[in-house]
Chains A and B, each alone.
Chain A
Amino acid sequence: MKYLSMLLLAWLTAFQAGQDIYICKNAKINLYSSAPIEDIEANSSQAVSVYKASTGELSFSLPIRSLHFEKSLMEEHFNENYMESDKYPKASFKGMVLSPPDISKDGTYPVNVTGDLEVHGVKQARTIKGEIKVNGGVISMTSEFIVKCADHKIDIPQIVFHHIAENIRIRVAATYAPYKN
């Protein structure tokens, strides 16, 4: 009986090895900036993320052009003048979840993720707070953090009438599925 349980455990480990990589193809990104004239907000649900549960490796990639604003002119200015998305089409994050939680147990785990955030072609080493939720084998992550325009060499020209704030709040939400090859 003892051996049987050991056997079972061994098989379980093997089973888990096959489900170590989790992917999300429709991670949601929300960008919000409070400006004196009007608040500026954009959403995308086309970010891609890969999470390796055993090591905690975590990466995100966001096509900048997939961020949609309420006003088309804002979107154009954002792409053309601030993000220069023809030159830098993607924003990405590549890092590690520090002490990754055991995903075999349901629960909500506050985590710290450390790595490089690349926006507008400029990499910044960041440690970002987030939350990993495991519920019946489904992994989801959320995070909220601030990006300073100056950190990524995004300049805000004085000539522009509706000013964009210096700090942009970013919210991320991703629900992962096991990667099958």
Chain B
Amino acid sequence: MKKSIILIALLALCIGVKAQKTDTAKKEPSADSLMNSLSAGDDKHAYILSAFKATRLIFSPTTEMVRKKNLNFLVIHRFGDIATGPGGARTLFGLDAVNDVYIGFEYGVSDNFNINFGRSTIGQLVELQLKYALLHQTNDNSSPLGIALMGGTGVRPYGNFASFSDRLSYIAQAVFSRKFTQALSLEVSPVFVSDNQPIPNEAGNENSFFSLTAAGRLKVTKHMSILVDWEHPFSSYRTGTNGFQDPLGFGAEFETGGHVFTLNFTNARAVSQINSLSNSQASWGRGEYRFGFTISRMFDFNRKKEKKW
């Protein structure tokens, strides 16, 4: 009797245990839903990747930054007129003539802060610029735009100037970019340019003026994109009647892993925005357009991390 009571009690206990087991099973989420809840949310506010492939399009800088401890080496070339008098077959459509060569370095102090240094042939303009990534576009549109701020100064060490300060120019701009689809990215950028001595140095010209640039990139294949870049100075002096033209460029960009090559056609002769915004008089309509290219090569100085395995 005693034995059977104990047995029954044990049985009851076991049932109790079983019930408890199913209870806990009910409370326990399935491995699947647990997995979902654990791995949810880790993509929130993730920055979008590569609105642009390089730190520059044809004229304009982009919101792309040189990453920390990386160095971007730039060579930008603009050849001679393709179709006008000095162009044609005799100069291999302008390839014999060089209008402007820019050699530059962009260094990533941090992922969001770059120092850019470069020099152009036109005016022997030497430039130092600081670039700061204010905002990154995110996947969930919590930030719909990427914004980069840039400020710089240029000096023309050669040529006749009344004083040293006349050699200086300044540029400040904000770049607003958005990657609309996997293929299409656009940007606009208000720019302020100030030349201490107006360029060209003519009566009636202004020292300072605002401009707007607009540019776009359309990705055609994984490694090739087409580019359009346009600049417009808002200046009562820089008008068509005074012989000025808006720089307009078309290009194709090739990314090869480490290098980005841009092949382009532009009317503007100058590479530096200080030069191209201040003084662009070459016209597409008159055949004063040229071939140009940009080579951008990234070097990485991050020390090899210790292997964790």
Known: A3-B6, A28-B308, A71-B302. A59 touches B20 (CB 8 A): no
Q: Are A11 and B50 in contact (CB under 8 A)?
A: no
Name the contact of A17 in the complex, choosing from B21, B32, B309 (C-beta under 8 A): B21
The segment from B22-30, B81-89, B243-251 found at the interface with A is B22-30
**Which residue of chain A is the closest to B23 with respect to CB atoms?**
A17
Name the contact of A63 in the complex, choosing from B27, B29, B42, B256 (C-beta under 8 A): B42
Q: Are B13 and A86 in contact (CB under 8 A)?
A: no
What CA separation (Å) do A7 and B31 show in the bound complex? Answer: 29
Name the contact of A81 in the complex, choosing from B38, B48, B68, B223 (C-beta under 8 A): B223
Q: Are B70 and A50 in contact (CB under 8 A)?
A: no
Chain A hits for B10, CB < 8 A: 3, 6-7, 10
The prevalent SS among residues of A at the interface is mixed
Q: List 15 A-B contacts (CB under 8 A).
A: A14-B20, A17-B24, A17-B25, A25-B38, A28-B308, A59-B31, A63-B43, A72-B302, A73-B298, A73-B300, A80-B50, A85-B49, A89-B43, A159-B254, A160-B256
Q: Are B257 and A14 in contact (CB under 8 A)?
A: no
Q: Are B35 and A48 in contact (CB under 8 A)?
A: yes
What CA separation (Å) do A80 and B49 show in the bound complex? Answer: 7
Q: Are A161 and B34 in contact (CB under 8 A)?
A: no
Q: B304 to nearest A CB, angstroms? A: 6
Is B109 on the interface with A (CB-CB < 8 A)?
Answer: no
Name the contact of B39 in the complex, choosing from A61, A77, A171 (C-beta under 8 A): A61
Is B220 on the interface with A (CB-CB < 8 A)?
Answer: no
What CA separation (Å) do A161 and B259 show in the bound complex? Answer: 9
What CA separation (Å) do A13 and B16 show in the bound complex? Answer: 12
Q: B19 to nearest A CB, angstroms? A: 10
Chain A hits for B257, CB < 8 A: 73, 77, 159-162
Chain A hits for B39, CB < 8 A: 48, 61, 63, 90
Q: Are A73 and B258 in contact (CB under 8 A)?
A: yes
- A residues in contact (CB < 8 Å) with B: 3, 6-7, 10-11, 13-14, 17-18, 20-21, 23, 25, 28, 30, 41, 43, 46, 48, 50-52, 57, 59, 61, 63, 65-66, 70-73, 76-77, 79-81, 85-87, 89-90, 94, 157, 159-162, 171, 179, 181
Q: Are A17 and B49 in contact (CB under 8 A)?
A: no
Chain A hits for B283, CB < 8 A: none
Chain B hits for A48, CB < 8 A: 35, 38-39
Query: On chain B, which size bracket covers the interface?
Result: 35 or more
**Which residue of chain B is the closest to A43 with respect to CB atoms?**
B308
Name the contact of A87 in the complex, choosing from B21, B50, B182, B223 (C-beta under 8 A): B182
Q: Are B17 and A14 in contact (CB under 8 A)?
A: yes
Is B222 on the interface with A (CB-CB < 8 A)?
Answer: yes
**Which residue of chain B is the closest to A41 with respect to CB atoms?**
B307
Q: Are A86 and B302 in contact (CB under 8 A)?
A: no
**Which residue of chain B is the closest to A17 with respect to CB atoms?**
B21
Chain B hits for A25, CB < 8 A: 38
Query: Which of B13, B34, B70, B302 is packed against the most chain A CB atoms within 10 Å?
Result: B34
**Which residue of chain A is the closest to B308 with respect to CB atoms?**
A43
Q: Are A46 and B42 in contact (CB under 8 A)?
A: yes
Q: Apart from A80-B50, A157-B222, what 19 extra A-B contacts exist at CB < 8 Å?
A: A6-B10, A14-B20, A14-B21, A18-B24, A21-B28, A41-B307, A43-B308, A52-B31, A66-B42, A70-B304, A70-B305, A73-B298, A85-B49, A86-B49, A86-B139, A87-B182, A90-B39, A161-B256, A179-B28
What CA separation (Å) do A105 and B13 show in the bound complex? Answer: 26
Closest 7 CB pairs of A and B: A72-B67, A160-B257, A61-B39, A71-B300, A17-B21, A48-B39, A48-B38
Q: Are B31 and A57 in contact (CB under 8 A)?
A: yes
Is B134 on the interface with A (CB-CB < 8 A)?
Answer: no
Chain B hits for A6, CB < 8 A: 10
Known: A6-B10, A18-B24. A159 touches B308 (CB 8 A): no
Q: B66 to nearest A CB, angstroms? A: 9
What CA separation (Å) do A66 and B38 show in the bound complex? Answer: 15
Is B14 on the interface with A (CB-CB < 8 A)?
Answer: yes
Chain B hits for A161, CB < 8 A: 256-259
Is B92 on the interface with A (CB-CB < 8 A)?
Answer: no
**Which residue of chain B is the closest to A79 with respect to CB atoms?**
B49
Q: Give a binary string over B106-140; 1 marks a CB under 8 Å from any A CB, 0 the rest.
A: 00000000000000000000000000000000010
